[in-house]
Amino acid sequence: SPAGMVLSVLVILLLSMLYEAVKMGKAVLLRRALLALPRSLSRESLAEPEEGGTGPAQGRWFRYHVGQTLFHVVQVVLGYMVMLAVMSYNAWIFLGAIAGSTLGYFV
C-alpha cells in the first residue's frame, strides 16, 4: 500500500541517518581515546605499573575502546539492515537510504 511504502522509506531514511550519527560518534571516541594515551609510546609507559594496578590513563583508554567497540557493533548492524533494505531493489527504498545518508552526514 502507499502508506506502507512511505513508512518503509521513512524508516530506512532514519536508519541511514542513525548510521551516520553512529559513525561520527565512533570518530569522536577515537579522538578521545588517542588523547587519553600517554605522550610517550615507549614500552615502559604502556607496561602496567608495579603498584596499584592500571593507571588512570590506561583505564580511560580502555573505556573509550569498549565504547568504540559497542559503536562499531551498532554501526555494522545498522549498515547491514540498510544494505538488506536496498537489496530489495526498490527505487524508493534506495532513494530513502541515499537521502538519509546525506541528511545524516549533513547534520
3-state secondary structure of 80: helix
Q: How do residues 63-89 score in pLDDT, each as one tens digit?
A: 888 888 999 999 999 999 999 999 999
Q: How do residues 20-40 score in pLDDT, each as one tens digit?
A: 999 998 888 888 888 877 666
C-alpha cell at 79: 549498515
> For the chain, how many structural domains are there in total?
1
* Pairwise CA distance, residues 99 & 30, whole Å: 27
Do the domain assignments include residue 62? yes
Do the domain assignments include residue 11? yes
- Domain with 62, as residue range(s), is 2-44+56-106
Q: What angle do CA 58, 19, 37 make, to 5 degrees?
A: 15
pTM score of the predicted model: 0.74
Q: Which residues contact 89 (CB under 8 A, 6 or more apart)?
A: none
Do the domain assignments include residue 49? no
